[in-house]
Amino acid sequence: MPIRHRVRYEIPQQARLLTCSCYRRLAFFGNEAIKDAFVEHLRVCRESDGFKLFAWVVMPEHFHLLLLPNLPTTPVSVILRNLKEPFARMVIGRWKELDAPILSTITDSRGSRHFWQRGGGHDRNILGGHELPEKINYIHMNPVRRGLVTRPEAWRWSSASWYAHPQTGTIPIDRPH
């Protein structure tokens, strides 16, 4: 099967809905310390890459981000590389230190270890209007639909609390216009 390459449409002032999954859709984010570390890493990347962040959630086996990249300086491909590669190295490095049993599960036939599912994940341009609040709601309702919480703002690893109680939460949120 040929390798398909993701086509990204970098359109100035157009928000993007990004979804990336853990390797083999394994629940690496089922661990609270890994979720917390990822949220902190997302906060740092938001500051260093200069993108606007409208909504986010970390689920057990994937994450969603709704953001506006700082074009042309920092396209989505750079944001994802800066977000995913160092984080994967850090977690896998820790698993190596611990000689964690998960290492055999994440090692492929060539001996490479993976944290993220291969490919660029799902990337969708958001046109605005009703679509932006619809996607924010979709992101925030993920943990509720999965039965992890009964109210979106109760999920600690999401921007829902920022919307429910402005100026609270782990990462500052940019309100869409």
Residue range 74-120, pLDDT digits in tens: 999 999 999 999 999 999 999 999 999 999 999 999 999 999 998 87
Residue 5 lies in a domain: no
Does 5 score more than 60 pLDDT? no
Q: What integer pLDDT is reported at residue 120 of this predicted model?
A: 75
Residue 24 lies in a domain: yes
Number of structural domains found in the chain: 1
pLDDT digits over 53-72, tens only? 999 999 999 999 999 999 99
> Over the range 56-91, which residues count as b (16 or more CB within 10 Å of their CB) and which as e?
bbbbbbbbbbbbbbeeeebbbeebbebbbeebbeeb
pLDDT digits over 10-58, tens only? 777 899 999 999 999 999 999 999 999 999 999 999 999 999 999 999 9
Domain at 40, CATH number:
3.30.70.1290
Domain range for 102 is 15-164
Taking the CB of residue 50, how many other CB atoms lie within 10 A of it?
A: 12
Residue 19 lies in a domain: yes
